[in-house]
Structure 1
């Protein structure tokens, strides 16, 4: 049976063979998240202006969207970027991270949507404890990564890991 599935070979994401893929990913995920919060805030402010003027045009009816505007903008942002061609949000890209599925493929928009919804649902229930899980997994996966079969890796090192490790 072949070691190859869809995308990258399965051994690419083995933390024992390729530890460089996972070095520093947890701390960079935190900074990527902060950058993404900044970008979502900018989009939220722009969307807020649009809703404000729509509210004037609809005699206040559109203003009912305001309470849901932050989650809508955040979910659309992550779904469009994480489920896009780069498989990374802009914050992740700036921190040199990318996401892959367990078989090496890139996440599609549905996986990205489930990822962000699981992240916020788990954060609401478990608070920052979901980040502690990453300290105890070899691939530095968080709860939503384990559930969905995703892994966040160093994007710069991915291109260097195409050659099989010795003995494969």
Structure 2
């Protein structure tokens, strides 16, 4: 039986040995305008997540009228449906090759791990859960954290090890305009 050793870089190597992939001092174009565009991306994603739930609620309401109020017993399904849809949306979109939700794509943002790897589905789902939990518990402080670090990471970004950066097309555009 063969085992991988720490020398070949597979097992036993701490992730703490990896440097941060994006440096705000030497690569400021990766972080330029990220916070404001992240807010707009969140609003776009919120509409995308909430719209189907509102349509489902309207369907249940009409179905309840047609079934003489029996259909209204489906209203408790809205809560779990919202949670499942929101987590699924984040997992699928962040786990895509673009590593971005639809709102983030519209704003030329992408999510990466702190060491530069693309996001994957499980990380996207965990990021969504960490976001909602941290927003519920530490509402204003989640946003304040971004003002005091160079990478503009929010609290839940620190918790799951991600960083939101401009995508390569926007970075190239910012580099061209700088010269």
TM band (smaller chain):
0.7 to 0.9
Q: 98-107 or 87-96, which moves further after superposition?
A: 98-107
Q: Which has the higher contact order (CA 8 A, sep 6+)?
A: 1
Unaligned runs of 5+ residues in structure 1 are 1-8, 162-168
> TM-score scaled to structure 2, two decimals?
0.73
- Please name the residue that 2:11 is paired with: none
Q: What does 1:34-73 correspond to in 2, within 5 Å?
A: 34-48=43-57, 60=71, 62-73=74-85
Looking at structure 2, the residues matched to 157 and 67 of structure 1 have their Cα atoms a distance apart, in angstroms, of: 37
- Please name the residue that 2:143 is paired with: 131
How many aligned residue pairs are there?
A: 151
Looking at structure 1, the residues matched to 55 and 88 of structure 2 have their Cα atoms a distance apart, in angstroms, of: 14
Structure with higher Rg: it is 2
RMSD over equivalenced CA pairs, Å: 2.7
Q: Cα distance, 1:135 vs. partner?
A: 0.6
1:113 pairs with 2:125: yes
Whether contact under 8 Å (1:87, 1:107) holds in the other structure is yes
- Please name the residue that 2:3 is paired with: none
CA 1:50–1:80: 2 relative to 1, 3 Å:
farther
Unaligned runs of 5+ residues in structure 2 are 1-17, 175-179
